[in-house]
Amino acid sequence: GKPYLASRPRTAHGAASNVLNWNFNVSHEGHFVALAAEPVLLCGIDIAAPELVRSGSQRNLEERFELMSNQFTPHEWRTIRACGPDEAQMEAMFRKHWSLKEAYTKGRGDGIAFGLQNCEFHFDGAQVAAVSDGGASGVERASVVVGGRELPSWRFYLQPLPDNHWISVARGPPS
């Protein structure tokens, strides 16, 4: 299950904090470790590293796609395949979708037991400027559809990290 605080957070002076639902999540993969924290909303975070960095795998892209065929919706597979024939672009889109699914299910607290094919992600094309050590980069936004219904109360943000990693953050209501 998802980690949580067993008691209400306290201030430096020992008084009960007014934070109602302090929530956190951690991810580590490849060259990075990240933590997301929220005082009220549920949150999930995920880092997706390139296959070779992640596991040293010798599987080609099609073998990896076949292995994960049931984890994505037909819409998501069309989005991933539309980046072809450039395998690097297809793999990047694959990792973006995977990272969003992981962040969402970690934020919900049920992880992959939720069934990753039950959530479908859409990119709205909007970007918010962000600055990192590698210079300026855009933070992409995405939305999720679950059971044929968009969940506008959940917000998703993706950002490229150095060495072809992606990071995703999910934020949603506690109820």
**Phi, psi for 13 (deg, rounded to 5):** -95, 5
Sketch the domain layout of the chain as residue ranges. Answer: 23-172
74 sits in which H/E element = helix 74-81
> What is the three-class DSSP state of 15?
coil
Please give the average per-residue pLDDT across 43-69, as a whole number: 86
Percent of the chain with pLDDT over 70: 79
CATH of domain 23-172: 3.90.470.20
Residue 69 tokens read as 């065929």
**Phi, psi for 78 (deg, rounded to 5):** -60, -40
For residues 142 and 158, the answer to whether their CB atoms sit within 8 Å is yes
DSSP E strands, 1-100: 23-29, 32-38, 42-48
pLDDT of residue 27: 96
Measured between its terminal Cα atoms, the distance across the chain in Å is: 17
Output DSSP code: residue 10: B
Output DSSP code: residue 17: P
pLDDT, tens digit (0-9, with 9 covering 90-100), for 73-125: 999 999 999 999 999 999 999 999 999 999 999 999 987 788 889 999 999 77
Q: Which residues pair with 64 in a beta bridge?
A: none
pLDDT of residue 156: 97
pLDDT, tens digit (0-9, with 9 covering 90-100), for 4-19: 666 666 666 766 666 6
For residues 11 and 144, the answer to whether their CB atoms sit within 8 Å is no
- Average pLDDT over all residues of the chain: 86
Q: How far apart are CA 118 and CA 120, in angstroms?
A: 7
Q: Kindly report the CA angle at 83 between 82 and 88, in degrees rounded to 5?
A: 150
Amino acid at 74: P
- Kindly report the pTM of this predicted structure: 0.85
Residue bearing the bigger pLDDT, 156 or 58: 156
pLDDT of residue 72: 97
